[in-house]
Amino acid sequence: MILLSINTLFCLTKLKDSETYHIYECKKTYNECNHTNDKKSKCGSVEFQYTREIEDIEKCKTETEMRTKIAELANQGTQICGRCVSHLYKND
């Protein structure tokens, strides 16, 4: 079971050569938002790599903010990994 801390922030990111966005843990430092050292997406199937070109569509959102934003984006047709999204809805 994966437990998300209250302070966990999330980024919605895709690799430039992909069509699907995945959720990664992020951290806020000063006025910046950066991916954490855990480079695996929440689904575990995609690894973030600084050497590859990425696109962040949302950065440093709380769990609630990310749920809302994902619903909006999905309704607009944005492809978002369902396995990543399911991690936002797991019970502690």
The count of structural domains within the chain is 1
DSSP string, the chain: -PPPPTT-EEEEEEETT-S-BEEEEEEEETTEEEE-S--B-TTSS-B--TTS-EEEEEEEE-HHHHHHHHHHHHHTT--B-HHHHHTTS---
CB 72 within 8 A of CB 80: no
Residue 57 lies in a domain: yes
The pLDDT, as a whole number, for residue 55 is 86
Residue 34 lies in a domain: yes
CB 74 within 8 A of CB 68: no
| 8-37 pLDDT per residue, tens | 899 999 888 889 999 999 998 888 888 888
Which domain does 36 fall in, by range? 9-86
The pLDDT, as a whole number, for residue 76 is 95
Residue 4 lies in a domain: no
The pLDDT, as a whole number, for residue 5 is 46
Residue 69 lies in a domain: yes
